[in-house]
């Protein structure tokens, strides 16, 4: 707060350019200070960085840059502590369990860090949970909320509260690596016959609640593809395949990866897409999957038909308080999200204004009490994909992707 007040004093009598420079400097300093503290919180802060990085079009650049970097820049767990965590969870230290184990992590997940290992000639990835995450969730979120309330982001961005609630829900679900192992095996069984997807195999005998061992996939994340200058046609192809994979999950499998952060997808040298980090998944009831398909087929100007379908999906009750407002928001969301699926023209995801409008619509829906869990997680996952497509500047014929599932 003191830095923000000092910035306001420095703006007195300054011209427009100077005032803007002071604002930018203050935001960057605030973001840097909060970032340094958040990095020590690991789990909640890393997950917050992931959620906010999917909404960077809504945030001041300094905040988007700093918070998105949390997942890459958190201080690693000391090697000795990693050894203790593995021994406590699996009964033996890593040198007894693996032929080779690298003490330095090669990646940071939201709740732990990932180490390269080898056993019997197989290359493995070992995810080790940060110690005390389960016990610290409540206190860490109290600190997180207090920190953000002292910065201009919380003052001008009230949508952060729903984001924090979502982050907490994700963290509480993801602290159990046995649940993630189950999800990896479920997706692996359902997708093993698919030629364009790869799900890492779980090594159960080397996994537990706080340690997860799986085969290691080698490939590229989206940021590496962007730095490599991959042709636009490849961007379009990858986005098309990711959208197809999303509808395969939601309309065929009935269960989907609810955290569509870019770091959870790996683009493999053989052209397949590797699915990583399945700690947060959502199962959809069969009747909801069936009724959901119909939403893509109804005319966008038919309010009566759409309203009836929202009721069938239990997204809307005409007798509830604020019914008119909630219906208006559902219709608005439908008309922002669905037109691209009813046209054979390629949709240009480089349009940041459209993505911002859809994100704000979901935020307004949450504020209005539209908290149906399937709707919220489904739209969050879809917005995560859309944000990734925006990064790629992808152009996708969405209608051609979806029609295979209708």
- Residue 318 CB: number of other CB atoms within 10 A? 11
259 is catalytic: yes
Q: One of 23, 140, 244, 259 is an active-site residue; which one?
A: 259
Nearest to 259 by CA among 53, 92, 35: 53
CA 287, chain centre distance (Å): 26
Query: Which residue(s) pair with 100 in the sheet?
Result: 118
As given in the structure block, the two tokens for residue 345 are: 């023209």
| Helix, strand or coil, per DSSP, at residue 396 | strand
As given in the structure block, the two tokens for residue 145 are: 């909320």
CA 15, chain centre distance (Å): 40
Alpha-carbon distance values, 405 to 250, 292, 294 (Å): 10, 11, 11
Whether the Cβ atoms of residue 89 and residue 211 lie closer than 8 Å to each other: yes
Taking the alpha carbons of 327, 333, 334, 335 in that order, is the dihedral positive or negative? positive
What lies within 8 Å, CB to CB, of 52 at 6+ separation is: 59, 63, 64, 67, 68, 163
Strands 122-129 and 211-215 turn out to be: antiparallel
Give the residue numbers annotated as catalytic, written as ranges: 259
């Amino acid at each position: 707060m003191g830095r923000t007040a000092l910035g306001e004093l420095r703006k007195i009598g300054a011209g427009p350019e100077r005032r803007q420079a002071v604002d930018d400097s203050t935001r960057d300093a605030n973001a840097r200070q909060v970032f340094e503290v958040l990095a020590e919180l690991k789990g909640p802060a890393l997950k917050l960085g992931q959620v906010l990085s999917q909404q960077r079009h809504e945030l001041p650049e300094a905040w988007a840059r700093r918070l998105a970097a949390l997942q890459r820049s958190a201080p690693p767990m000391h090697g000795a502590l990693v050894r203790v965590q593995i021994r406590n969870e699996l009964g033996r230290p890593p040198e007894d369990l693996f032929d080779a184990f690298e003490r330095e992590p090669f990646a940071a997940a939201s709740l732990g860090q990932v180490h390269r290992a080898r056993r019997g000639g197989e290359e493995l990835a070992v995810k080790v949970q940060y110690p005390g995450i389960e016990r610290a969730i409540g206190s860490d979120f109290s600190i997180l909320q207090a920190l953000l309330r002292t910065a201009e982001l919380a003052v001008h961005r009230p949508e952060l509260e729903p984001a924090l609630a979502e982050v907490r829900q994700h963290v509480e679900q993801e602290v159990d690596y046995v649940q993630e192992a189950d999800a990896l095996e479920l997706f692996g069984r359902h997708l093993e016959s698919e030629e364009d997807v790869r799900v890492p195999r779980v090594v159960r005998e080397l996994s537990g609640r706080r340690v997860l061992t799986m085969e290691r996939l080698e490939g590229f994340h989206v940021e590496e593809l962007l730095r490599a200058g991959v042709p636009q046609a490849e961007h379009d192809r990858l986005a098309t395949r990711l959208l197809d994979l999303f509808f395969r999950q939601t309309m065929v499998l009935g269960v989907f990866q609810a955290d569509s952060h870019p770091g959870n997808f790996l683009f493999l040298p053989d052209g397949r897409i590797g699915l990583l980090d399945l700690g947060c998944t959502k199962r959809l009831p069969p009747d909801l999957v069936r009724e959901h398909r119909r939403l893509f087929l109804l005319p966008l100007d038919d309010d009566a038909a759409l309203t009836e379908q929202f009721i069938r999906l239990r997204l809307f009750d005409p007798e509830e308080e604020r019914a008119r407002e909630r219906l208006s928001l559902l219709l608005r969301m439908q008309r922002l999200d669905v037109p691209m699926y009813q046209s054979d023209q390629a949709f240009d995801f480089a349009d940041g204004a459209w993505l911002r409008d859809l994100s704000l619509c979901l935020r307004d829906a949450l504020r209005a009490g539209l908290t149906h869990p399937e709707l919220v997680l489904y739209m969050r996952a879809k917005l995560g994909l859309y944000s990734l497509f925006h990064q790629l500047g992808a152009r996708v014929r969405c209608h051609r992707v979806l029609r295979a599932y209708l």
